[in-house]
A and B are shown apart, each in its own frame.
Chain A
Amino acid sequence: MTVDVPSPASHASALGDRLAGAVLLLLAIAAWWHARTFVTGFHQAVGPDVFPRLVCVPLGLLALYLLVRPGINERWPGRAALLRQAGLLVLLGGYAAFLEPWGFLPATLVGSVLLMRLFDAAWRQALVSGASLTVILYLLFEFALGIPLPDIPGLGL
């Protein structure tokens, strides 16, 4: 995980660093260029465009350095792992999208059950734990913490 001393075998080629360097370099250039739209009618000694540009300079230079002299990277995952990771992102993105239109209870029930399935729970475990988690979270936020969660449309739950 985050331990900073990986075994040499886990080091992939430094392609990732070069790629990141290129992306960050482009970002720095784009951000510098976009800063030209930050104009005010009122005179200011330092306008809203100065600081972002000041940051873009070291960002661009360091990115260039990374591009030319890359360092150590970890190994990137295989296809199966990438699919699972994409699944997680799609699932969570979908949950965010349906939270308000569906209301908290149904969205969280579906979301938590699928999430537990993704983490290798059996259907039975996922259904039972997902349902309990949904209810506990609802009670915790809505009542104990007093934070209103999205209602199911028309039901007020």
Chain B
Amino acid sequence: MAISPRSLHTVAAAALLGLGLSVSTPSQALPISECIAPADPGGGWDFTCRSVGKLLYDLDLVDNPVKVVNMPGGVGAVAFSNVAGKRADDSDLIVATSTVGITQIAQGRYPGGVDTMRWLGMLGTDVGVVLVDDDSPYQSLDGLLEAMVDDPSSVVMAGSSGVGGWDHIRALMLAEAAGLPDDQIGSVRWVQFDGGGPAVTQMMGGHVDAVSTDLGEIAGFIKSGDVRVLAVLADKPLAPPFEDLPTAVSQGYDVTGYNWRGFYTGGEVSDADYRSMVDTLKTLYDSPEWKQVAERNGLVPLWRGGDEFNAFVRDTADKVESISREIGVIQ
């Protein structure tokens, strides 16, 4: 549409409104100035970038507002290849990621392995949960898993990831812990929906039997009593209001399944810059404001940073790779 003189007034008004919101900064070796969200606006990675970027500025950890760039594609592969190829030594850039991204790497779906990037830290985590409808015949995790072991195709499970995605793998880890033989693990029926909410709704409509997904997204259904939680995949019981939900560990299945949110940066960033970025994120994590933002969005604040985080990422990738091999997602 052409810009006529009259509409310029509107533009000017909009520009006035937008001042202080979007000043692009020169790319010098300042602390974090840009965050890539490898997804469209509105998703989890976008939220991670926007909330952390805003807090970094609000807490005066950076001099200028952090610019958020959405770079969707290939569940993060586009951003990954972009950073590896063009911006590997860019020490003012952070990229949002999560367990979902690591799963993709472990299954060889990114152009490069874990070592391509430097892993900065995780700031919080969502917890996996297995649930059924409130009038489902399955009263406990034992009941569900027994039925699965008896006849793997008798239970239809659903979640927000595809076959071999994190929701699916977490569910299969449980089935495996219950004694489902490796050669039958592929017969468990798995249905993918566009998110945890749609999966739960379809379960309420009687179209699928059980759902494996993240707690944060479907917390409303738990509070309203429309669903029955069979297990949360955490080490220990959660904080209120979810303290009464049974963990899988307490029921004798040694399975945990977190979905953390964190950041990486290019692989050629110097040690000194890397350390200062990790410190910046740690300071942010320690602030009460972050705890508030995290909890409001269904995340449990949890910190792993620097070398510890690097080792953790590597370990997660190894675990996912081995189970993906067992179920045949990768050869």
A–B touch (CB < 8 A): the answer is: yes
Interface size on A, residues (CB 8 A): 18
Within 8 Å of chain A (Cβ to Cβ): is B311? no
A120 to chain B, nearest CB (A): 17
Q: CA A42 – CA B330 in complex, angstroms? A: 8
Specify the main secondary structure of chain A where it touches its partner: loop
Within 8 Å of chain B (Cβ to Cβ): is A142? yes
Query: Contacts of A136 on B, CB cut-off 8 Å?
Result: 3, 8, 11
B11:A139 contact, CB within 8 angstroms: yes
Q: CA A143 – CA B25 in complex, angstroms? A: 12
B327:A42 contact, CB within 8 angstroms: yes
Within 8 Å of chain B (Cβ to Cβ): is A79? no
Within 8 Å of chain A (Cβ to Cβ): is B196? no
Query: Contacts of B17 on A, CB cut-off 8 Å?
Result: 144
The A-contacting residues of B in range 179-213, CB under 8 angstroms, are 186-187
B14:A156 contact, CB within 8 angstroms: no
Within 8 Å of chain A (Cβ to Cβ): is B164? yes
A41:B329 contact, CB within 8 angstroms: yes
Q: CA A47 – CA B108 in complex, angstroms? A: 20
A142:B163 contact, CB within 8 angstroms: no
The A-contacting residues of B in range 1-54, CB under 8 angstroms, are 3, 8, 11, 14-15, 17-19, 21-22, 24-27
B163:A145 contact, CB within 8 angstroms: no
B18:A156 contact, CB within 8 angstroms: no
Contact pick for B24, options A133, A145, A151, CB 8 Å: A151
The A-contacting residues of B in range 209-259, CB under 8 angstroms, are none
With contacts A143-B18, A145-B18 taken as known, whether A41 is within 8 angstroms of B26 at the C-beta atoms is: no
A40:B3 contact, CB within 8 angstroms: no
Within 8 Å of chain B (Cβ to Cβ): is A124? no
B292 to chain A, nearest CB (A): 25
Chain B's closest residue to A45 (CB) is B189
Q: 22 pairs across A/B with beta carbons < 8 Å?
A: A41-B330, A42-B164, A42-B329, A133-B3, A139-B11, A140-B11, A143-B18, A144-B11, A144-B15, A144-B17, A144-B18, A145-B18, A145-B22, A146-B22, A147-B22, A148-B22, A148-B67, A148-B69, A151-B27, A156-B24, A156-B25, A156-B26
Give A residues with C-beta under 8 Å from B: 40-44, 133, 136, 139-140, 142-148, 151, 156
Known pairs A43-B328, A151-B27; list 10 more (Cβ under 8 Å). A40-B328, A41-B328, A133-B3, A142-B22, A142-B24, A143-B15, A143-B19, A145-B18, A146-B21, A156-B25
